[in-house]
């Protein structure tokens, strides 16, 4: 039986004994994981290890087959690939503004605080000068920075990202790494799936996942700090 509850403030996300199966295929087995506030946690491991599935469970977009999930009340989830169709006529500011709806409610006009959050997110990810450009016209790095700005505009306690720097130019990747560390410094819990060696080096904590099991850095493992676990 799966249990989903609200997480304690000191632990924005926690998985205990979580398993996920797709028919006969097992994606995760007996996973214990803490995602602490004020830290950047990076999940590493080979392709097919279950990293994206783990992230989806923490985000609440996939219900585990077994185990317990607790999570913060405000979550921003930045997937590896956007589901925004290229033909949709939305600008960079439109995409980031949707993130700010988490502050005021969907379809409601933004108040002063929410508008300021949008402006700040655009500036922090260096996309303010692209605010009125169609999202479909952006490069890969610009799109990823815009999607992260969308997440920041929400002001979430828990920030989740799937391969946030993969395939990006060096400038965009560095901007994202710096922003994730800044979010952790403000007290957010940041969890990213990544193969990026520079992001792994910058992480406060690295979790190693193999064949659907946490082999290093799970719940209670305080030794899995940056530089101690290879990707």
pLDDT at 101: 79
- Average pLDDT for 56-68: 94
pLDDT at 1: 38
Q: What is the C-alpha separation between 179 and 35, in angstroms, rounded?
A: 18
Kindly indicate the confidence band of residue 7, based on its pLDDT and cuts at 50, 70 and 90.
very low
Let me know if domain 1-72+195-231 sits in CATH 3.20.20.370.
no
- Average pLDDT for 157-174: 92
**% of the chain at pLDDT higher than 70:** 84
Pull the structure tokens for residue 82.
């956007």
Residue-wise pLDDT tens digits, 89-146:
899 999 999 888 766 555 566 778 889 999 999 999 999 999 999 999 998 889 999 9
Kindly indicate the confidence band of residue 230, based on its pLDDT and cuts at 50, 70 and 90.
very low
pTM of the entire structure? Answer: 0.84
- Average pLDDT for 157-171: 92
Q: What is the C-alpha separation between 44 and 92, in angstroms, rounded?
A: 30
Find out whether 122 and 149 touch, Cβ atoms under 8 Å. Answer: yes
Residue 216 phi/psi, 5-degree rounding, is: -160, 135
- Average pLDDT for 1-20: 67
Q: What is the mean pLDDT of the chain?
A: 85
């Amino acid at each position: 039986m799966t249990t989903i509850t609200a997480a304690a403030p000191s632990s924005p996300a926690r998985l205990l004994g979580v398993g996920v199966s797709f028919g006969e295929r097992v994606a995760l087995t007996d996973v214990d994981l803490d995602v602490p506030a004020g830290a950047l946690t990076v999940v590493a491991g080979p392709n097919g290890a279950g990293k994206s599935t783990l992230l989806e469970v923490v985000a609440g977009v996939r219900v585990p087959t077994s185990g317990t999930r607790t999570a913060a009340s405000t979550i921003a989830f930045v997937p590896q690939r956007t589901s925004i169709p290229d033909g949709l006529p939305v600008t960079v500011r439109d995409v980031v503004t949707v993130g700010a709806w988490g502050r005021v409610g969907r379809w409601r006009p933004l108040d002063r605080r929410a508008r300021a959050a949008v402006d700040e997110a655009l500036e922090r990810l260096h996309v303010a000068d692209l605010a009125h450009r169609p999202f479909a016209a952006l490069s890969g790095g610009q799109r990823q920075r815009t999607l992260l700005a969308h997440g920041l505009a929400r002001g979430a306690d828990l920030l989740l990202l799937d391969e946030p720097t993969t395939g990006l130019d060096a400038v965009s990747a560095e901007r994202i790494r710096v922003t994730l560390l800044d979010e952790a410094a403000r007290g957010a819990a940041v969890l990213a799936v990544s193969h990026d060696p520079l992001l792994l080096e910058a992480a406060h904590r690295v979790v190693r996942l193999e064949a659907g099991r946490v082999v290093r850095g799970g719940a209670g493992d305080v030794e899995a700090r940056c530089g101690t676990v290879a990707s």
